[in-house]
């Protein structure tokens, strides 16, 4: 890495995490709970860890969007990944706004133009509820249906979206175009990613018999 | 229409300039960022900072080329073309109105940092002049003529020069769309021979020369040269006014990225299109005006921090353009920023919930530094 790292993973345990949210500091003292009051007193005395580069105090920052950009990033090229993300959001907004302006009055409220709402809803629609894991018993490996943790669900949804865009599309289309199309389809519960989720659910349903192999 | 109502602190300065009509019911509080005056000739300081709309048919007729690509996308998304009236444009209108057309043409150079709206001001001036009935010679971006040229032919007219058929034919096509009327009225004053069997007689309308250039692409650059020469000669008589609007005029005197077949670099003077355009930009004719823009964005071999005329034009260009009127274009003033922000909110371009708050607005102003291009880029994904 070219930059000198300031934030190490091994800090002295007395170091505290930085608080970036501006709203927190604007609250008057009476509204804070007991724990928060203790934390504020500690902050006056203890040293604080350096803030990581992907943490921002901007009102427009969104942790899901930054996670998605990190997953799209290749070879550490965050500049390119972030510009692709902004172009995708803009493309979604343009498509929806064009539809909005051409629609008749009574349908205008049903069209969602906010790209962030569409992004979050599409991710939620793509998240599988139940997954499969390989468990070896008696020499044979079985695909056992297993409940997934929230983080794993989010990761799988994002991973499926990105691989779908990278592999199954025409070579010459640009990533923002492909991604905006996929996100809009997922928002309406259509498209190949939703199909993949349904296929996974069906496999899990088919392998119900092995569910007792799970021990956690 | 422009109504002033009880508004939050943000737009109080607009209220002071509008003759407040006390109408009790607020219809559209954001309407004060627009003005219904769609004729640029009637724009005054009262309209400064407001957006005026150009009807879409006029946009297709007056601007077949010349609008920035992001603005064209904006027109398509919002289904309307709204341009902000700014102070440098109003200044230019005052100069154009009071200029004496018997004197040689005055040259105006619009300069400013990157992304401050120079091209949009040029388009505003072009719209004004076309509304007034002038003949508008609009070159959208002179940088396109000195780089990325696939075909370079040796000119048949002059052995040293090089022709660019593709660029010349696209320009002729767009010129024909914007100035149909003049091409029918103006007549050639000399006989031009294009090849063994093709020639244009004296007294034929100029539209024939343009059609000849479009039909025979090999002689398109010469057709452009003929059109420019004819227009310049006939402007003296005073039957029409001529506006020469060049975007990126620093391309005419810099270096090019083109090479001849023996890999030696081409200087701009060796290209027919650039040679003829340089003659147009000279102030040895009367009966019109020359409005140009400097542009660092498309320029070749110039550092990105250069924006002053001396730096971008170089010694040769500055001497050629020497007595000119500089028109600086600054970033948005607080009032113009308010207007732009209000316009985006009203058109539902800013969709993020936090973008509507005071914090969001302060953050947008800080991050963009009131630079129009940065604000446009930032507001895109939000």
Instruction: Tell me the average pLDDT across B235-261.
Output: 86
DSSP letter (8 states) at residue A25: H
DSSP letter (8 states) at residue A66: H
pLDDT tens for each residue of A10-59: 888 888 888 888 888 877 767 667 888 888 888 889 998 888 888 888 88
Which of the residue ranges A4-8, A121-125, B184-188 has the most confident prediction, judged by mean pLDDT?
A: A121-125
Cβ atoms B382, A93 nearer than 8 A: no
Q: Do B77 and A97 touch (CB under 8 A)?
A: yes
Q: What is the dihedral of CA B258, B259, B261, B267, to 10 degrees?
A: 100
Q: Do B354 and A93 touch (CB under 8 A)?
A: no
pLDDT tens for each residue of B165-201: 888 899 999 998 888 888 888 888 888 887 777 888 8
A101–B contact, CB cutoff 8 A: yes
Q: State the average pLDDT for chain B.
A: 83
Task: Tell which of A89, A90, A177 to mutate to test the B interface (max B CBs under 10 Å).
Answer: A90
Task: Tell which of A21, A22, A56, A60 to mutate to test the B interface (max B CBs under 10 Å).
Answer: A60
Report the pLDDT value the prediction gives residue A71, as an integer from 0 to 100: 94
Instruction: Tell me the average pLDDT across B357-369.
Output: 91
Query: In angstroms, what separates the C-alpha of B157 from chain A's closest C-alpha?
Result: 42
Among candidates B146, B152, B158, which has minimal Cα distance to B246? Answer: B146
* Angstrom distance (rounded) from CA B1 to CA A174: 42
Among candidates B116, B228, B234, B151, which has minimal Cα distance to B186? Answer: B234
Chain A residue numbers touching B362 (CB-CB < 8 A)? none
Element (H, E) at B108: strand B106-111
Q: Which of B78, B351, B360 sits opposite A59 (nearest CB)?
A: B360
Report the pLDDT value the prediction gives residue A153, as an integer from 0 to 100: 94
**Residue B230 CB partners (closer than 8 Å, separation 6+):** B186, B188, B189, B206, B209
Chain B residue numbers touching A85 (CB-CB < 8 A)? 381
- Per DSSP, the three-state class of A17 is coil
Cα distances (Å, whole numbers) of residue A50 to A8, A20, A42, A119, B292: 9, 11, 17, 30, 50
Report the pLDDT value the prediction gives residue A6, as an integer from 0 to 100: 62
Q: Is the pLDDT of residue B11 over 70?
A: no
Among candidates B339, B333, B289, which has minimal Cα distance to B87? Answer: B333
Cβ atoms B253, B320 nearer than 8 A: yes
Q: Do B78 and A97 touch (CB under 8 A)?
A: yes
Report the pLDDT value the prediction gives residue B160, as an integer from 0 to 100: 83
pLDDT tens for each residue of A72-113: 999 999 999 999 999 999 999 999 999 888 888 888 888 888
Q: Please spell the DSSP secondary structure of B160-221, one letter per residue.
A: T-EE-HHHHHHHHHHHHHHTHHHHHH-B-SS-EE-SSS-EE-TT-BHHHHHHHHHHSGGGHH
DSSP letter (8 states) at residue B369: T
Cβ atoms A68, A160 nearer than 8 A: no
Q: Which of B73, B353, B363 sits opposite A58 (nearest CB)?
A: B363
* Angstrom distance (rounded) from CA A44 to CA A57: 21
Q: Which of A59, A90, A116 sits opposite B380 (nearest CB)?
A: A90
Residue B369, by phi and psi: left (phi above 0), alpha (psi -120 to 50) or beta? left
CB interface of A with B, residues 43-72, below 8 Å: 58-60
The two counts, helices (H) then strands (E), for chain B are 14, 12
In which band, very low, low, confident or very high, does the pLDDT at A8 lie, cut at 50, 70 and 90? low
- Can you give the residue ranges of every domain in chain A? 14-60, 62-213
Cβ atoms B155, B331 nearer than 8 A: no
pLDDT tens for each residue of B57-98: 888 888 888 888 899 999 999 888 888 888 899 989 999 888
* Angstrom distance (rounded) from CA B247 to CA B122: 8
B350–A contact, CB cutoff 8 A: no
Q: Do B352 and A100 touch (CB under 8 A)?
A: no
A62-213, CATH topology level? Ribosomal Protein S7 (1.10.455)
Q: Which of B348, B363, B381 sits opposite A59 (nearest CB)?
A: B363
Task: List beta partners, residue B290.
Answer: B107, B244
pLDDT tens for each residue of B14-50: 444 443 333 333 334 445 677 777 777 777 888 888 8
Give the percent of chain B with pLDDT over 90.
13
- Token code pair at residue A35: 């724990």
Phi, psi for residue B252 in degrees, rounded to 5: -70, -20
ipTM at complex level: 0.84
* Angstrom distance (rounded) from CA A136 to CA B56: 68
Gap between the terminal Cα atoms of chain A: 40
* Angstrom distance (rounded) from CA B124 to CA B178: 15
Q: Do A98 and B357 touch (CB under 8 A)?
A: no
- Token code pair at residue B14: 């607009």
């Amino acid at each position: 890495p070219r930059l000198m790292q300031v934030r190490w993973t091994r800090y002295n345990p007395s170091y505290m995490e930085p608080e970036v949210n501006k709203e927190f500091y604007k609250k008057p003292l009476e509204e804070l709970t007991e724990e928060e009051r203790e934390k504020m007193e500690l902050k006056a005395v203890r040293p604080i860890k350096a803030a990581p580069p992907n943490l921002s105090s901007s009102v427009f920052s969104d942790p899901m969007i930054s996670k998605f950009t990190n997953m799209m990033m290749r070879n550490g090229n965050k500049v390119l990944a972030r510009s692709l993300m902004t172009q995708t959001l803009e493309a979604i907004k343009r498509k929806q706004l064009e539809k909005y302006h051409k629609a008749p009055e009574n349908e205008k409220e049903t069209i969602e133009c906010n790209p962030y709402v569409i992004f979050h809803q599409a991710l939620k629609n793509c998240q599988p509820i139940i997954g499969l894991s390989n468990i070896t018993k008696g020499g044979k490996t079985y695909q056992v249906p297993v409940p997934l943790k929230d983080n794993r669900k989010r990761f799988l949804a994002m991973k499926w979206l990105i691989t779908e865009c990278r592999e199954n599309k025409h070579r010459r289309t640009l990533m923002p175009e492909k991604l905006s199309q996929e996100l809009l389809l997922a928002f309406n519960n259509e498209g190949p990613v939703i199909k993949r989720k349904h296929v996974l659910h069906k496999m899990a349903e088919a392998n119900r018999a092995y569910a007792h192999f799970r021990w956690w | 229409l422009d109504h002033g109502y009880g508004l939050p602190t943000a737009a109080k300065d607009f209220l002071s300039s509008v003759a407040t009509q006390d109408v009790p019911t607020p219809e559209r509080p954001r309407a004060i960022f627009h003005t219904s005056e769609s004729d640029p000739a009637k724009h005054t300081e009262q309209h400064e900072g407001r957006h005026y709309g150009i009807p879409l048919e006029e946009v297709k007729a007056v601007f077949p080329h010349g609008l920035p690509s992001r603005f064209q996308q904006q027109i398509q998304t919002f289904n309307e073309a709204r341009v902000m009236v700014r102070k440098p444009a109003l200044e230019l209108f005052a100069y154009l109105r009071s200029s004496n057309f018997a004197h040689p043409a005055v040259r105006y150079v619009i300069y400013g940092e990157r992304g401050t709206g120079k091209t949009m001001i040029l388009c505003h001036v072009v719209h004004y002049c076309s509304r007034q009935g002038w003949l508008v010679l609009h070159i959208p971006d002179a940088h396109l003529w000195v780089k990325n040229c696939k075909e370079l032919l040796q000119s048949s007219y002059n052995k040293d020069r090089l022709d660019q058929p593709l660029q010349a034919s696209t320009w002729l096509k767009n010129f024909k769309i914007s100035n149909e009327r003049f091409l029918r009225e103006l007549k050639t004053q000399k006989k031009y021979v294009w090849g063994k069997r093709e020639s244009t007689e004296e007294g034929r309308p100029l539209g024939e020369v343009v059609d000849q250039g479009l039909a025979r692409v090999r002689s398109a650059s010469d057709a452009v040269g003929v059109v420019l020469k004819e227009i310049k000669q006939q402007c003296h008589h005073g039957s029409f006014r001529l506006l020469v609007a060049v975007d990126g005029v620093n391309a005419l005197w810099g270096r090019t990225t083109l090479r001849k077949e023996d890999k030696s670099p081409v200087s701009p003077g060796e290209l027919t299109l650039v040679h003829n355009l340089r003659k147009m930009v000279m102030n040895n004719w009367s009966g019109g005006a020359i409005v140009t823009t400097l542009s660092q964005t498309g320029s070749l071999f110039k550092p990105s921090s250069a924006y002053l005329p001396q730096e971008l034009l170089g010694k040769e260009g500055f001497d050629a353009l020497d007595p000119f009127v500089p028109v600086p274009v600054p970033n948005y003033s607080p009032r113009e920023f308010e207007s732009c922000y209000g316009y985006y909110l009203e058109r539902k371009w800013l969709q993020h919930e936090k973008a509507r708050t005071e914090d969001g607005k302060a953050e947008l102003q800080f991050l963009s530094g009131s630079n129009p291009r940065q604000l446009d880029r930032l507001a895109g994904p939000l």
